[in-house]
Amino acid sequence: MRLAILITNTDHSDFAGARPDDAVKFSRFVALARPDWSCTSFDLPRGDALPKLEDFDGFIIGGSPAFLSDDRPWIAPLLEFIRAAHADRVPLLGTCFGHQAIAAALGGRVGRNGEGWGHGLLELQMFQVPPWMKGAPKVRRLYGSHAEQVLDLPDNATVWCASEGCPIAGFFVENSIFTTQHHPEISADFMADLVDHLADYMGAEVTEKARASLIDEADNAAFAEAAAQFFEQAIRA
Protein backbone atom coordinates (compact mmCIF):
# COMPACT_ATOMS: atom_id res chain seq x y z
CA MET A 1 0.00 0.00 0.00
CA ARG A 2 1.33 3.45 -0.94
CA LEU A 3 0.12 6.19 1.38
CA ALA A 4 0.72 9.94 1.21
CA ILE A 5 0.91 11.92 4.44
CA LEU A 6 -0.30 15.49 4.00
CA ILE A 7 1.43 17.45 6.75
CA THR A 8 -0.45 20.56 7.92
CA ASN A 9 1.51 21.22 11.13
CA THR A 10 2.61 24.86 11.42
CA ASP A 11 4.51 24.41 14.69
CA HIS A 12 8.14 25.06 13.76
CA SER A 13 9.19 25.97 17.30
CA ASP A 14 12.27 24.73 19.15
CA PHE A 15 9.97 22.35 21.05
CA ALA A 16 8.78 20.76 17.81
CA GLY A 17 12.25 20.76 16.27
CA ALA A 18 13.68 18.75 19.16
CA ARG A 19 11.21 15.91 18.60
CA PRO A 20 10.19 13.65 15.70
CA ASP A 21 8.26 15.54 13.02
CA ASP A 22 4.88 14.53 11.66
CA ALA A 23 6.41 12.60 8.76
CA VAL A 24 8.15 10.34 11.28
CA LYS A 25 5.18 10.19 13.66
CA PHE A 26 2.70 9.10 10.99
CA SER A 27 5.13 6.65 9.38
CA ARG A 28 5.60 5.02 12.79
CA PHE A 29 1.83 5.05 13.30
CA VAL A 30 1.21 3.20 10.03
CA ALA A 31 4.01 0.75 10.86
CA LEU A 32 2.24 -0.23 14.08
CA ALA A 33 -0.18 -2.20 11.91
CA ARG A 34 1.42 -2.52 8.45
CA PRO A 35 5.22 -2.14 8.63
CA ASP A 36 5.61 -3.03 4.94
CA TRP A 37 3.51 -0.12 3.64
CA SER A 38 5.28 2.89 2.15
CA CYS A 39 4.61 6.45 3.33
CA THR A 40 5.59 9.62 1.48
CA SER A 41 5.06 12.97 3.17
CA PHE A 42 4.16 16.37 1.73
CA ASP A 43 4.66 19.38 4.02
CA LEU A 44 2.01 21.85 2.86
CA PRO A 45 2.88 24.78 5.17
CA ARG A 46 6.50 24.58 4.00
CA GLY A 47 5.41 24.86 0.37
CA ASP A 48 5.24 21.28 -0.90
CA ALA A 49 2.80 20.81 -3.76
CA LEU A 50 -0.15 18.51 -3.25
CA PRO A 51 0.43 15.08 -4.81
CA LYS A 52 -1.58 13.62 -7.64
CA LEU A 53 -4.50 11.46 -6.55
CA GLU A 54 -3.52 8.67 -8.92
CA ASP A 55 -0.01 8.32 -7.47
CA PHE A 56 -1.14 6.88 -4.12
CA ASP A 57 -3.58 4.34 -2.74
CA GLY A 58 -4.75 6.63 0.06
CA PHE A 59 -4.03 9.80 1.98
CA ILE A 60 -3.61 10.80 5.63
CA ILE A 61 -4.25 14.44 6.54
CA GLY A 62 -2.62 15.30 9.84
CA GLY A 63 -3.08 17.81 12.62
CA SER A 64 -2.06 21.43 13.09
CA PRO A 65 -2.35 24.35 15.49
CA ALA A 66 -3.64 26.31 12.48
CA PHE A 67 -7.34 27.09 12.19
CA LEU A 68 -9.34 26.59 9.01
CA SER A 69 -10.34 30.25 9.21
CA ASP A 70 -6.68 31.32 9.01
CA ASP A 71 -5.58 33.09 5.83
CA ARG A 72 -2.95 30.55 4.83
CA PRO A 73 -2.26 29.90 1.13
CA TRP A 74 -2.24 26.08 1.41
CA ILE A 75 -5.67 25.67 3.06
CA ALA A 76 -7.97 26.42 0.10
CA PRO A 77 -6.07 24.04 -2.25
CA LEU A 78 -6.23 21.35 0.44
CA LEU A 79 -10.01 21.69 0.64
CA GLU A 80 -10.26 21.39 -3.15
CA PHE A 81 -8.03 18.32 -3.00
CA ILE A 82 -10.35 16.73 -0.42
CA ARG A 83 -13.39 17.36 -2.62
CA ALA A 84 -11.63 15.85 -5.64
CA ALA A 85 -10.54 12.80 -3.65
CA HIS A 86 -14.05 12.30 -2.33
CA ALA A 87 -15.52 12.55 -5.83
CA ASP A 88 -13.13 9.83 -7.00
CA ARG A 89 -13.67 7.74 -3.82
CA VAL A 90 -9.97 7.85 -2.97
CA PRO A 91 -9.66 6.91 0.74
CA LEU A 92 -8.91 9.76 3.15
CA LEU A 93 -7.97 9.41 6.81
CA GLY A 94 -8.18 12.70 8.71
CA THR A 95 -6.82 13.42 12.19
CA CYS A 96 -7.35 16.63 14.21
CA PHE A 97 -7.02 19.45 11.63
CA GLY A 98 -7.45 16.84 8.90
CA HIS A 99 -10.74 15.70 10.48
CA GLN A 100 -11.93 19.31 10.52
CA ALA A 101 -10.71 20.05 6.99
CA ILE A 102 -12.54 17.05 5.54
CA ALA A 103 -15.75 18.08 7.29
CA ALA A 104 -15.49 21.69 6.10
CA ALA A 105 -14.57 20.74 2.53
CA LEU A 106 -17.65 18.54 2.25
CA GLY A 107 -20.15 21.03 3.69
CA GLY A 108 -19.83 20.54 7.45
CA ARG A 109 -19.18 23.26 10.01
CA VAL A 110 -16.18 23.77 12.27
CA GLY A 111 -15.99 26.07 15.30
CA ARG A 112 -14.82 26.54 18.86
CA ASN A 113 -15.30 23.85 21.47
CA GLY A 114 -17.95 25.31 23.79
CA GLU A 115 -16.47 23.50 26.79
CA GLY A 116 -12.93 24.72 26.23
CA TRP A 117 -9.87 22.63 25.44
CA GLY A 118 -9.84 18.89 24.99
CA HIS A 119 -6.32 18.11 26.22
CA GLY A 120 -4.56 14.96 27.38
CA LEU A 121 -5.69 11.36 27.09
CA LEU A 122 -9.34 11.47 26.08
CA GLU A 123 -11.92 8.74 26.62
CA LEU A 124 -13.99 7.75 23.60
CA GLN A 125 -17.63 6.75 23.55
CA MET A 126 -18.18 4.63 20.48
CA PHE A 127 -21.50 4.83 18.66
CA GLN A 128 -21.92 3.21 15.25
CA VAL A 129 -18.80 1.18 14.56
CA PRO A 130 -17.65 1.43 10.92
CA PRO A 131 -17.90 -1.95 9.15
CA TRP A 132 -14.13 -2.28 8.76
CA MET A 133 -13.57 -1.82 12.53
CA LYS A 134 -15.60 -4.86 13.54
CA GLY A 135 -12.54 -7.07 13.33
CA ALA A 136 -10.18 -4.54 14.94
CA PRO A 137 -9.45 -4.05 18.65
CA LYS A 138 -11.63 -1.47 20.36
CA VAL A 139 -10.36 2.11 20.46
CA ARG A 140 -11.18 3.50 23.91
CA ARG A 141 -8.64 6.29 24.42
CA LEU A 142 -6.67 8.63 22.17
CA TYR A 143 -4.44 11.62 22.89
CA GLY A 144 -5.86 14.99 21.94
CA SER A 145 -5.34 18.73 22.14
CA HIS A 146 -7.91 20.91 20.43
CA ALA A 147 -9.95 24.08 20.89
CA GLU A 148 -11.89 23.79 17.64
CA GLN A 149 -13.91 20.83 16.44
CA VAL A 150 -16.56 19.72 13.95
CA LEU A 151 -19.93 21.16 14.97
CA ASP A 152 -22.08 19.95 12.05
CA LEU A 153 -21.46 16.87 9.92
CA PRO A 154 -21.14 16.93 6.14
CA ASP A 155 -23.81 15.15 4.12
CA ASN A 156 -23.92 11.35 4.38
CA ALA A 157 -21.50 11.29 7.32
CA THR A 158 -21.98 9.08 10.38
CA VAL A 159 -20.50 9.75 13.83
CA TRP A 160 -18.51 6.77 15.11
CA CYS A 161 -17.27 8.24 18.41
CA ALA A 162 -17.55 11.15 20.85
CA SER A 163 -15.34 12.40 23.67
CA GLU A 164 -15.94 14.80 26.57
CA GLY A 165 -17.18 18.11 25.16
CA CYS A 166 -16.81 16.81 21.59
CA PRO A 167 -19.95 15.07 20.26
CA ILE A 168 -18.35 14.56 16.83
CA ALA A 169 -14.94 13.15 17.74
CA GLY A 170 -14.85 11.00 14.62
CA PHE A 171 -16.98 10.30 11.57
CA PHE A 172 -16.97 8.25 8.42
CA VAL A 173 -18.56 8.67 5.00
CA GLU A 174 -19.43 5.36 3.37
CA ASN A 175 -16.20 3.41 2.96
CA SER A 176 -13.86 6.14 1.71
CA ILE A 177 -13.55 8.68 4.56
CA PHE A 178 -12.53 7.97 8.16
CA THR A 179 -11.66 10.66 10.72
CA THR A 180 -10.82 11.39 14.32
CA GLN A 181 -10.49 14.70 16.14
CA HIS A 182 -7.64 13.17 18.11
CA HIS A 183 -3.98 12.24 17.58
CA PRO A 184 -3.29 8.51 17.10
CA GLU A 185 0.25 9.36 15.94
CA ILE A 186 1.30 10.94 19.26
CA SER A 187 3.35 8.87 21.71
CA ALA A 188 2.94 8.87 25.48
CA ASP A 189 6.28 10.68 25.92
CA PHE A 190 5.35 13.35 23.39
CA MET A 191 1.97 13.96 25.01
CA ALA A 192 3.53 14.32 28.47
CA ASP A 193 6.08 16.78 27.08
CA LEU A 194 3.34 18.73 25.29
CA VAL A 195 1.27 19.05 28.47
CA ASP A 196 4.30 20.45 30.28
CA HIS A 197 5.22 22.73 27.37
CA LEU A 198 1.73 24.24 27.17
CA ALA A 199 1.14 24.48 30.93
CA ASP A 200 1.38 28.27 31.17
CA TYR A 201 -0.79 28.74 28.09
CA MET A 202 -3.44 26.24 29.13
CA GLY A 203 -3.64 27.24 32.79
CA ALA A 204 -3.56 25.14 35.93
CA GLU A 205 -7.01 23.52 35.70
CA VAL A 206 -6.66 22.22 32.14
CA THR A 207 -3.03 21.18 32.73
CA GLU A 208 -3.69 19.22 35.93
CA LYS A 209 -6.65 17.44 34.34
CA ALA A 210 -4.47 16.51 31.37
CA ARG A 211 -1.63 15.28 33.59
CA ALA A 212 -4.01 13.16 35.63
CA SER A 213 -5.32 11.52 32.44
CA LEU A 214 -1.87 10.31 31.44
CA ILE A 215 -1.85 7.51 33.97
CA ASP A 216 -3.09 5.30 31.12
CA GLU A 217 -1.88 5.11 27.52
CA ALA A 218 -3.69 5.66 24.24
CA ASP A 219 -4.98 2.87 22.02
CA ASN A 220 -2.75 3.94 19.14
CA ALA A 221 -2.04 0.41 17.95
CA ALA A 222 -5.75 -0.44 17.91
CA PHE A 223 -6.50 2.69 15.89
CA ALA A 224 -3.62 1.91 13.53
CA GLU A 225 -5.17 -1.49 12.85
CA ALA A 226 -8.57 0.13 12.24
CA ALA A 227 -6.95 2.64 9.86
CA ALA A 228 -5.13 -0.14 7.99
CA GLN A 229 -8.36 -2.08 7.59
CA PHE A 230 -10.05 1.11 6.38
CA PHE A 231 -7.51 1.58 3.58
CA GLU A 232 -7.60 -2.11 2.65
CA GLN A 233 -11.36 -2.31 2.31
CA ALA A 234 -11.51 1.00 0.41
CA ILE A 235 -9.03 -0.28 -2.16
CA ARG A 236 -10.95 -3.55 -2.59
CA ALA A 237 -14.29 -1.80 -3.10
**If we measure between CA atoms, which residue out of 196, 171, 140 comes closest to residue 18?**
196
Catalytic residue among 39, 96, 161, 166: 96
> Which one from 99, 146, 166, 185 is the annotated catalytic residue?
185
Dihedral in degrees, nearest 10, Cα atoms 166, 196, 15, 162:
-10
Contact 181, 62 (CB under 8 A): no
d(CA 10, CA 31): 24
Q: Any catalytic annotation for residue 161? A: no
In the set 86, 119, 183, 225, the catalytic residue is 183
183 is catalytic: yes
Integer angstrom CA distances of residue 19 from 24, 28, 145, 203: 10, 14, 17, 23
Q: What are phi and psi of 149, to 5 degrees?
A: -160, 170
Is 39 catalytic? The answer is no
Active site (catalytic) residues = 96, 183, 185
